[in-house]
Chains A and B, each alone.
Chain A
Amino acid sequence: MKNRLGEIRKKHGIKQEELADALEVSRQTIGSLENGRYNPSILLAFKIARYFDLSIEEIFIYEESEVK
């Protein structure tokens, strides 16, 4: 799943480490999310959205072709 996490994080001027601390996940998880290698659980997606005061859809981009 594609997402705009990296772009939004940089816009807010936050480091990966700071975001990871705030969300209580590892820095590697933030890196993997930004690279699109890992899809978050719905809980983490909500936490990220709440942190940036955005909706999940504004951060994570759903594409029909991803459904197998």
Chain B
Amino acid sequence: MKKSLSPVILMFLGLLLLSAGIYIVKTSIDPQGMVRVLPYVCIGLGCGIFGHGTGDVISRRILKNHPTKEKEIEIEKNDERNIAIGSLAKAKAYDMMIYVFGALMLAFALMEVELAALLLLVFAYLFVVAYGIYYRYKYDKEM
């Protein structure tokens, strides 16, 4: 079974990142380059991880006293219809993403945005498409 980080560790990790971000914002004088953005990234990530960890801690605590509810959630999660719906929704979103990102790249090219940013976006787009092709090939071999 895949083991994930304990929610309490996640909570502290998030809090640490958040505090580090706030500390850098408050103490740095005239930051340049990456240091200008880094604290805000830390704050954003910290808030996200902290929220996720806290939610997990609360839900685990509540579910500990309600084993039937826990089983219900487990059934809902593993229900084959729910999994099929999730997969179909993801597939639809992927199809849409291909068009939306394509249009976005074209718009960025016409707007003459910085070449590095545009190339990064193109690379990310192609990576996702290649990932899809890889899994198509992999599943074709497996099934």
Instruction: With both chains docked as a complex, state the minimum distance between the C-beta of A53 and any C-beta of chain B, in angstroms.
Output: 22
Instruction: With both chains docked as a complex, state the minimum distance between the C-beta of A47 and any C-beta of chain B, in angstroms.
Output: 10
The B interface, classified by DSSP as helix, strand, loop or mixed, is helix
Task: Verify A32–B75 contact, CB threshold 8 A.
Answer: no
Closest to A26 in B: B79
Among the listed B75, B78, B80, B82, which residue makes an inter-chain contact with A41, where contact means beta carbons less than 8 Å apart?
A: B80
CA distance A15 to B84 in the complex (A): 24
Tell me the count of chain A residues lying within 8 A, CB to CB, of chain B: 12
- What total count of A-B pairs have CB within 8 Å? 25
Instruction: Indicate if A24 sits at the interface (CB-CB under 8 A).
Output: yes
Name 25 A/B residue pairs within 8 A (Cβ), A-sorted.
A20-B75, A24-B75, A24-B78, A25-B75, A25-B79, A25-B80, A25-B81, A26-B75, A26-B76, A26-B79, A26-B81, A26-B82, A28-B79, A28-B81, A29-B79, A29-B80, A29-B81, A29-B82, A32-B81, A38-B81, A38-B84, A40-B80, A41-B80, A43-B80, A44-B80
Instruction: With both chains docked as a complex, state the minimum distance between the C-beta of B89 and any C-beta of chain A, in angstroms.
Output: 15
Residues of A within 8 A of B78 (CB): 24
Instruction: With both chains docked as a complex, state the minimum distance between the C-beta of B70 and any C-beta of chain A, in angstroms.
Output: 14
Q: A32-B81, A44-B80 are in contact. List 6 more A-B contacts (CB 8 A).
A: A25-B75, A25-B81, A26-B76, A28-B79, A29-B81, A40-B80
